[in-house]
Amino acid sequence: MRCGKEDVWVKIVREVLGWAGSIGISFALVLFIGIFVFQPYKVDGHSMDPTLQDEQRIYISKLTHTFAKEPAYGDIVVIDSRVDRPRTFKDSFMEQPVIQWIAGSAKEKTFFVKRVIGKAGDVLEFKDHQVYRNGQVLSEPYLKETMQFVSDKKWTVPEGHVFVMGDNRNDSWDSRNIGFIPLDHVMGVKKLP
């Protein structure tokens, strides 16, 4: 029994379609996990010293973002610093490393790694080189050094927002500069042991 040319081509086409389907499903799964479950990020700079170092890779759980949950005090979060504009699903899709690689787009420095200091309704003050939340000084053993920042201003965190700061308070671009972070701009949480 001989195979005709048509039989060979049918087998090749089936094989190619089988592989294409597997690759397509894998690609969709990678995107789904990256958008909704977890994603790697790289620390860029020294604002989280000594807790996290420059260039350190971290993985964050995106379930907080996916289910619109408020992070806890002290959580290390990745935030989208573009707080002056709303986020869309297109943002989450286009920010995936695989999509950026395919598109050949360079990463903008819009994602910051910070720590949650205040949540909705909290009143924050910066006096005596310490942070006060609702009149109580925070115990912050993770800080690199004494914070030099002081302010007479009282910061009241609005509903649906958080206030974040870096652990290296003297070298951190955070809510003191960019303002309160909308919860939909909290991309995910890194839980430390």
Active site amino acids? 47, 114
Half-sphere exposure of 155 (CA within 13 A, CB side): 25
And the tokens for 72? 């806890």
Instruction: Compute the distance between CA of residue 21 and CA of residue 82 in angstroms, rounded to an integer.
Output: 37
Query: In sequence order, what are the beta bridge partners of 191?
Result: none
Output the CA–CA distances (angstroms, integers) from residue 191 to 48, 58, 60, 69, 173, in the order listed: 14, 10, 8, 15, 21
Per DSSP, 150 falls in state -
Of the candidates 81, 50, 69, the residue with the CA atom closest to the CA atom of residue 144 = 50
